[in-house]
Structure 1
Amino acid sequence: MAFVEVTNVRKLFGGRDTGVVALDEANLAFDEGEFVALLGPSGCGKTTLLKIVSGLLPKTSGSVRVGGKEITGPYPDYGFVFQQASLMPWRTVRENVLFPMEILGKKDKEATMRADELLGLTGLSHFADSRPHELSGGMQQRVSLCRALIHKPKLLLMDEPFGALDEFTRLEMNDLLLKIRDETKASILFVTHSISEAVYLSDRVVIFSRRPARVQLEFKVGLPRVRTQSVRFTPEFTDAERRASEALGILGAH
C-alpha cells in the first residue's frame, strides 16, 4: 500500500454549472520516504492538490488516503511550507519555530531542544534570538522549514518554497532540503515551476496538464539518492529535463 494515495480526485470551485474545475480525476500515489515533485502550468491545480492532501481543502469527489486513512479533515501529521515564510515579526526565530508546539500544547524542554537541533541543522544557531526582519529571505525560509519540521511530521508539503529566492540561494536551499530529507526520512510533495529543481530534488516527477488538471506524465528520475550539483551536468539529468519539457509542451516531442 502506498503512503499517499490520490484516486480520481475532482475539485470544483463554485456551482455545478458555472464553477471552475481545478482538478479532474487526478491520480497520484507514492511511498513513505519518497520525494515527489509536481510540475505544471500556473493555475493548473498543483497548490489545490497540496491543500486537499493536507485536509485543509475538501475535495468534490474521489479519495485521498495518507498512511491508509481516508482524509476527511486536517491531517495531523504533516508540515506545510509556503512560498513566503510568513513568520511572526514580534517573535524570535526560536519562538517562530516553536509555534506549532504551542498550538499542540507540547512546548516543553524537549520541544526547545528539537528547535535548537533544527536551527543547527539549517545553520541558524547564531540567529535563534533574532527577529525575522534581521534575516535574509533565504534565512527566513530556513526558519519556515524548521517550523514545519518541529513536530516530526511524516509528510512535508511544500508549495514553491524557493520560488522567490535568487538562484544561488535557491541552489543552497535545494541541497539543504535534501540533507534534511535524509535526516528526517519525511515523505515530501513539492510544487515547483522549475524543471531543473524538480529533477534535482525528486525521486519522481509528476506533470500536470492545464486546468482542469490531470496527471499528464509521471516518471522516476533515476539519479543517485545522494546528489551534488555536479549531477546537473550528466546525460541522465539532461534526459529527465527533456522528458519533462516535452510533457509541458516546451519542446516538441520526437
Structure 2
Amino acid sequence: MQVFPLMAFGTIRNVRKVFSAGELTSRSAEPVVALDDANFDFDEGQLIALLGPSGCGKTTLLRIVAGLIQKTSGSVMIGGREVTEPLGDYGFVFQQPSLMPWRSVIDNVLFPMEILKHSDRAARERATHLLKLVGLSDFLQARPHQLSGGMQQRVALCRALIHEPKLLLMDEPFGALDELTRLEMNDLLLRIRKETGATVLFVTHSISEAIYLADKVIVFSRRPARVATEIPVSLPYPRNQQIRFTPAFTQAERQASVALGVVPATETAA
C-alpha cells in the first residue's frame, strides 16, 4: 500500500481520464483511456519531472492539474484545494512559445497582468526584472520574429512567471530547441526556480533532462499512463553540466531507463 505525506502541496489520487469518442480529434469510435489510477505527491518548492513516452498521458495530467480539462475520476488537490476549474495562481509554459507577433517582448510578458487588470508600474518593473534575469534586457522592445527560438521561449517563461504563480506547469517547453540551447535553458530554469521559489511540474520524455532538473522524477508507463515508479533525485544544488558525468547521475538514469523498459533490469545488476 502506498503511503503519502499528510501535508503535501500537491496530491494526485487515483486520477483516471477517459476521452470519449466525441472529445477526440481522430475518427476513433472507441473511448481512449489516457490516464489510469495515477498517484503521487509533491511538496511546495519542489521541481517534479513527469517522464514517459510521447503520447502516454503526461500532458493530459498536466492539463487536469491546471483545471483546463476535467478528470473522469480521482482527486487533484493543490494547496489544500480540490481542482475543479482553471487555477488562478499557476503559470503554464507550452512547447511552442505562442507569443503575440504584434506585441513587443515586454508587452507579451505583461499580457497576463492586463488580463488580471494589474498592469501597473510594479508589474512593468517585475517584467523588466524577469527579462533581465533571462538575459533579454536589451530586447524589451523587440518583436518575437526578431528573436531566436530559445529567446522566444525565455519570453514565454517570463510571461508565465509575471503574476508570481505558486505553481509553474511546463509541457516539454524545450523539446523543440537544439541540444545546446536546451542545456542552457535547463540551467536557466534552475536559476529562475531558485529565485522565484515556484513549485514546478515539468513534462519531458528526456531521461537526462528529467534527472538533471528534478528533485523527484515520476516515471509513467505507456498509455494508459500509470505511475511506474518514483525516483528521488539527491544530486546537490547548485547543479551544473558536470554533474551529468557523475556515478549518482548515471545511476538515476539507469533506474529511469529500467522503469521505462529501455534497459532490462538484469543489465543494471551487471
Establish whether TM, by shorter chain, passes 0.5. Answer: yes
Residue 7, structure 1, aligned to residue 13, structure 2: yes
| Matched AA of 1:189 | L
Structure 2: state its 5+ residue gaps.
1-6, 23-28
Counterpart residue number, 2:56:
44
Residue correspondence of structure 1 range 207-246 to structure 2 within 5 A: 207-246=219-258
Other structure's SS at 2:37 match: strand
| Matched AA of 1:10 | R
TM-score (norm 1): 0.98
1:134 counterpart (121, 126, 146): 146
| Matched AA of 2:180 | F
Residue 101, structure 1, aligned to residue 113, structure 2: yes
Shift, 1:7, TM fit: 0.3
| Matched AA of 1:125 | S
Count matched residues. Answer: 254
Residue correspondence of structure 1 range 81-230 to structure 2 within 5 A: 81-230=93-242
| Matched AA of 2:43 | D
Can you list the C-alpha shifts for 1:217-237, whole angstroms capped at 9, x where unaligned? 101011003101110010000
Tell me, in whole angstroms, the C-alpha distance in 1 between the residues paired with 2:92 and 2:174.
Answer: 13
Structure 1: state its 5+ residue gaps.
none
Tell me, in whole angstroms, the C-alpha distance in 2 between the residues paired with 1:131 and 1:37.
Answer: 32
Tell me, in whole angstroms, the C-alpha distance in 1 between the residues paired with 2:127 and 2:147.
Answer: 17
| Matched AA of 2:12 | V
Can you list the C-alpha shifts for 1:148-178, whole angstroms capped at 9, x where unaligned? 0000000000000000001110010000000
Determine what percentage of the aligned residue pairs are the same residue: 69
Counterpart residue number, 2:31:
19
Residue correspondence of structure 1 range 54-65 to structure 2 within 5 A: 54-65=66-77
Residue 75, structure 1, aligned to residue 87, structure 2: yes
| Matched AA of 1:161 | P
Tell me, in whole angstroms, the C-alpha distance in 2 between the residues paired with 1:188 and 1:233.
Answer: 25
| Matched AA of 1:13 | F
Shift, 1:15, TM fit: 5.7
RMSD: 1.1
Tell me, in whole angstroms, the C-alpha distance in 2 between the residues paired with 1:144 and 1:64.
Answer: 26
Tell me, in whole angstroms, the C-alpha distance in 1 between the residues paired with 2:219 and 2:105.
Answer: 35
Shift, 1:28, TM fit: 1.5
Tell me, in whole angstroms, the C-alpha distance in 2 between the residues paired with 1:46 and 1:232.
Answer: 24
Tell me, in whole angstroms, the C-alpha distance in 2 between the residues paired with 1:15 and 1:90.
Answer: 37
Other structure's SS at 2:35 match: strand
Deviating 4+ runs (over 2 angstroms): 15-18
Shift, 1:190, TM fit: 0.2
Other structure's SS at 1:41 match: coil
Can you list the C-alpha shifts for 1:20-71, whole angstroms capped at 9, x where unaligned? 0100111121000000001111111000000000101111110000000001
Tell me, in whole angstroms, the C-alpha distance in 1 between the residues paired with 2:243 and 2:183.
Answer: 13
Tell me, in whole angstroms, the C-alpha distance in 2 between the residues paired with 1:78 and 1:177.
Answer: 16
